Copies of this chain bind each other. A is one copy, B any other.
Amino acid sequence: MGYSWKAISRQLIQVGIVILLIFLLAGAARAQATPAATPAAPAPGVTPEHITQLDQGVAAAQSSADNAWMLASAALVLLMTGPGLALFYGGLVRQKNMLALMMQSFAMMAWVTVLWALVGYSLCFGSGTVIGGFEHAFLRGVGIAPNPDYSGTVPQLTFMVYQLMFAIITPALITGATAERMKFSGTVVFVTLWFLVVYAPLAHMVWGKGGFLNAAGGGRFPTLDFAGGTVVHISSGVSALVCALYLGKRTGYPKMPMPPHSMMLSFIGACLLWVGWFGFNAGSALASNGLASSAFVATHFGAAAAVVGWSAAEWLKNGKVSALGAISGAVAGLVAITPAAGFVGPMPALAIGLTAGVGCFLMVTRVKAFFGYDDALDAFGIHGAGGTIGAILTGVFATRSINPIFHDVAGKSMRVGWIDGHWQQVGNQLAGVLIAWGFAAIGTIALLKITDSLTGVRVSEEEESQGLDITQHGEEAYNLER
Binding stretch for chain B, among A98-106, A221-229, A237-245, A381-389: A98-106
Give this chain's copy count. Answer: 3
- Kindly list chain B residues whose C-beta atoms are within 8 Å of the C-beta of A271: 79, 82-83, 86, 106
- Kindly list chain B residues whose C-beta atoms are within 8 Å of the C-beta of A27: 117-118, 138-139, 345-348, 350
Chain A contacts with B in 320-355, Cβ cutoff 8 A: 320-324, 326-327, 329-330, 344-348, 350-351, 354
Contact B323 A103 (CB under 8 A): yes
- Kindly list chain B residues whose C-beta atoms are within 8 Å of the C-beta of A475: 263, 322-324
- Kindly list chain B residues whose C-beta atoms are within 8 Å of the C-beta of A55: 41-42, 44, 54, 57
A259 at the interface (CB under 8 A from B): yes
Interface string of A84-104 (1 = CB under 8 A from B): 001100100011001100110
Q: How far is the CB of A376 from chain B (nearest CB, A)?
A: 15
A401 at the interface (CB under 8 A from B): yes
Question: A304's contact among B109, B145, B289, B397, by CB below 8 Å, is which?
Answer: B109
Interface string of A156-183 (1 = CB under 8 A from B): 0110110010000000000000000001
Binding stretch for chain B, among A10-18, A424-432, A440-448: A10-18
Contact A265 B265 (CB under 8 A): no
A253 at the interface (CB under 8 A from B): no
Q: A14-B316, A71-B293, A160-B297 are in contact. List 19 more A-B contacts (CB 8 A).
A: A9-B315, A12-B189, A17-B312, A20-B114, A20-B308, A28-B397, A30-B347, A31-B397, A34-B141, A34-B401, A64-B65, A65-B68, A79-B271, A94-B482, A109-B307, A144-B289, A157-B296, A263-B475, A264-B478
Question: A323's contact among B106, B114, B319, by CB below 8 Å, is which?
Answer: B106
- Kindly list chain B residues whose C-beta atoms are within 8 Å of the C-beta of A39: 59-60, 63, 145-146, 152-153
A410 at the interface (CB under 8 A from B): no
Q: How far is the CB of A261 from chain B (nearest CB, A)?
A: 5
Interface string of A203-244 (1 = CB under 8 A from B): 000000000000000000000000000000000000000000
Q: What are 21 of the A-B contact pairs (CB < 8 Å)? A: A27-B138, A28-B348, A31-B346, A34-B143, A39-B59, A45-B51, A60-B289, A64-B69, A64-B289, A65-B67, A65-B288, A66-B68, A74-B296, A75-B76, A111-B308, A114-B350, A139-B346, A259-B482, A263-B475, A323-B473, A478-B480
Chain A contacts with B in 431-482, Cβ cutoff 8 A: 454-456, 460, 472-480, 482
A362 at the interface (CB under 8 A from B): no
- Kindly list chain B residues whose C-beta atoms are within 8 Å of the C-beta of A38: 56, 59-60, 63, 144-145, 290
- Kindly list chain B residues whose C-beta atoms are within 8 Å of the C-beta of A346: 27, 31, 117, 139, 142, 157
A25 at the interface (CB under 8 A from B): yes
Q: How far is the CB of A45 from chain B (nearest CB, A)?
A: 7
Contact B290 A114 (CB under 8 A): no
A272 at the interface (CB under 8 A from B): yes
- Kindly list chain B residues whose C-beta atoms are within 8 Å of the C-beta of A184: 321
Q: How far is the CB of A31 from chain B (nearest CB, A)?
A: 3
- Number of chain A residues whose Cβ lies closer than 8 Å to a Cβ of chain B: 185
A36 at the interface (CB under 8 A from B): yes
Binding stretch for chain B, among A122-130, A193-201, A274-282, A364-372: A274-282
Which of A14, A47, A308: most chain B CB closer than 10 A? A308
Once the chains are docked, how many angstroms separate the CA of A456 from the CA of B2? 9
Contact B74 A72 (CB under 8 A): no
Majority DSSP secondary structure for residues of A touching B? helix
Interface string of A255-273 (1 = CB under 8 A from B): 0011111111101101110
Given contacts A114-B305, A316-B13, contact A155 B267 (CB under 8 A): no
Which chain B residue lies CB-closest to A456? B5
Contact B60 A60 (CB under 8 A): no
Q: How far is the CB of A219 from chain B (nearest CB, A)?
A: 25
Contact A267 B83 (CB under 8 A): yes
A414 at the interface (CB under 8 A from B): no
Given contacts A99-B264, A300-B161, A351-B25, contact A33 B140 (CB under 8 A): yes
Q: How far is the CB of A392 from chain B (nearest CB, A)?
A: 16
A294 at the interface (CB under 8 A from B): yes
Once the chains are docked, how many angstroms separate the CA of A153 from the CA of B478? 48
Contact B45 A109 (CB under 8 A): no
A409 at the interface (CB under 8 A from B): no
Given contacts A62-B61, A161-B300, A345-B32, contact A78 B274 (CB under 8 A): yes
Once the chains are docked, how many angstroms separate the CA of A9 from the CA of B315? 9
